[in-house]
Amino acid sequence: MDISTNCETFRQNVDVVNISSNTEELFLIPSAFSPNNDGVNDYFKPITTTTTSERISQYEFIVFNRWGEAVFTTVDAAVAWDGQANTNNAAARVYVWFMRATIENCMGEQIEVFEKGNVTLIK
């Protein structure tokens, strides 16, 4: 099978089971994490694809508590929330987040991305 975009072509032998979307996934964002230092899901951040991470020109990621107070903020796509809020362990509950980024696609066009959602901190 040949898969082509405006920028590249990939050739791979595959078994196609289901194609559910025809849009490029720029970020994959978990819905829960457990910052308990066990080495599994200890951090929360939008996960970029390899090609996306090389094209991010602006980035902002903020996590809010249920009162609307920012408990984590970063402008670096490589930095993740470790479950700390004001140097203390954040409580196990649902937090709201938003992420804004500017990405340059392979054609040199700037794409504005805005995502929002919630994440459950599990203890």
Question: What's the pLDDT score for residue 104?
Answer: 82
Count of domains forming the chain: 1
Compute CA distances 5 → 11, 21, 22, 47, 61, whole Å. Answer: 12, 14, 11, 21, 28
Compute CA distances 104 → 57, 67, 90, whole Å. Answer: 7, 34, 35
3-state secondary structure of 120: strand
Domain housing 111 = 29-121
Question: What's the pLDDT score for residue 21?
Answer: 37
pLDDT in tens, the chain (123 residues): 556 666 666 565 544 443 333 335 788 899 999 999 998 999 999 988 756 656 888 999 999 999 999 999 999 999 999 999 988 999 999 999 999 999 887 777 888 989 999 999 998
Question: What's the pLDDT score for residue 35?
Answer: 94
Residue with token string 């996934």? 25
- Predicted TM-score (pTM) of this structure: 0.76
- Quick check: is 12 in a domain? no
Q: Are 5 and 106 in contact (CB under 8 A)?
A: yes
Question: What's the pLDDT score for residue 87?
Answer: 86
- Quick check: is 3 in a domain? no
At 117, which CATH number?
2.60.40
Question: What's the pLDDT score for residue 48?
Answer: 82
φ/ψ region of 86 (left if φ > 0, alpha if ψ in -120 to 50, else beta) reads left
- Quick check: is 61 in a domain? yes
- Quick check: is 83 in a domain? yes
Show the tokens assigned to 79.
Answer: 């930095």
Question: What's the pLDDT score for residue 86?
Answer: 86
What is the identity of the amino acid at 81?
W
